[in-house]
């Protein structure tokens, strides 16, 4: 016998013996209950048997189905209805859709026109898709200071979103946060905006001349 075992106090040994006896009794009771056809008679006391008999008389009803199982989630339908109300033509949805090839991609230069201020042009850094709360983040410069602004594409205050310049090569990331560093920052995009306006004005004037001579 181990010396450490002999050095233990008598109370701990009695506790260990009681645990072993309790385990053997529990195993014997479980085996008797499994083998007997009326387990309440051999395993439990009179008080326990009477209580179990009372409980067995109660009828257990099935669990009620949850509200999500009986009724579908109404939020997708509500969101689609709100998007149709805010964007009846579907132009904003197509502009930032994943399926269309001519949609805006991260890295492009966009110009957002609002009712409350001057148009803001900047690099398209990322998009946060959240139904009718979908928003885009643009990075530009104001007074030679880098500025980032979020615009909700379905907001009534946003009157127009134009693609000024497209990135030649598609970006490998969904968020171009590295463009905040001076090494990758595009800086001021006013030159691109002026070139886009000149091209647009030339196309409009050419179209007006064609309609005039025709």
Domain boundaries, the chain: 78-205
| Residue 45's pLDDT band (cuts 50, 70, 90) | confident
DSSP string computed for 78-137: HHHHHHHHH-SS-HHHHHT-SS-TTS--TT-EEEEEESSS--EEEEEEEEE--GGG-EEE
Mean pLDDT of the chain: 82
- The whole-number pLDDT of residue 208 equals 65
* 198, pLDDT greater than 60: yes
- The whole-number pLDDT of residue 94 equals 94
| Residue 73's pLDDT band (cuts 50, 70, 90) | confident
Rounded to an integer, the average pLDDT of 137-144 is: 91
- The whole-number pLDDT of residue 209 equals 63
- The whole-number pLDDT of residue 84 equals 94
Per mean pLDDT, which range of 8-17, 73-82, 146-155 is the poorest? 8-17
Residue that wins the pLDDT comparison between 37 and 122: 122
0.85 cut: is pTM over it? no
In tens, the pLDDT along 52-63 reads 888 788 777 788
CA distances from 78 to 113, 126, 154 (A): 27, 25, 15
| Residue 24's pLDDT band (cuts 50, 70, 90) | low
Q: Name every residue whose Cβ is closer than 8 Å to that of residue 144 and which is 6 or more positions away in sequence.
A: 188
Looking at the chain, the number of H-run helices and the number of E-run strands are 8, 5
Q: What is the DSSP letter of 153?
A: T
So what's the architecture of 78-205 in CATH? Roll (2.30)
User: Which residues are 107's β-sheet partners?
Assistant: none
Rounded to an integer, the average pLDDT of 109-137 is: 93
* 3-state DSSP assignment of residue 25: helix
Rounded to an integer, the average pLDDT of 49-53 is: 83
Q: Name every residue whose Cβ is closer than 8 Å to that of residue 161 and which is 6 or more positions away in sequence.
A: 92, 95, 104, 110, 111, 112, 113, 151, 153
pLDDT above 70: percentage of residues in the chain: 80
Asked whether the beta carbons of 121 and 109 are under 8 A apart, the reply is yes
């Amino acid at each position: 016998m181990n010396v450490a075992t002999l050095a233990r106090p008598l109370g701990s040994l009695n506790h260990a013996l009681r645990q072993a006896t309790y385990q053997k009794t529990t195993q014997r009771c479980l085996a008797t209950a499994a083998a007997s056809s009326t387990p309440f008679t051999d395993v439990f006391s009179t008080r326990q048997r009477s209580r179990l008999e009372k409980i067995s008389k109660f009828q257990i009803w099935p669990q009620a189905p949850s509200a999500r199982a009986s009724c579908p989630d109404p939020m997708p339908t509500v969101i689609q209805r709100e998007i149709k109300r805010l964007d009846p033509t579907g132009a904003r949805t197509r502009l930032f859709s994943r399926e269309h090839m001519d949609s805006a991609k991260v890295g492009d230069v966009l110009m957002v026109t609002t009712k409350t201020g001057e148009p803001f042009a900047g690099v398209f850094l990322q998009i946060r898709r959240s139904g009718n709360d979908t928003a885009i983040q643009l990075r530009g410069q104001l007074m030679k200071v880098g500025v980032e602004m979020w615009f909700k594409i379905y907001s009534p205050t946003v009157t127009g979103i134009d693609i000024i310049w497209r990135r030649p090569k598609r970006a490998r990331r969904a968020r171009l946060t590295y463009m905040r560093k001076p090494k990758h920052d595009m800086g001021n995009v006013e030159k691109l905006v002026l070139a886009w306006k000149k091209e647009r004005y030339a196309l409009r004037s050419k179209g007006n001349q064609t309609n005039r001579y025709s």
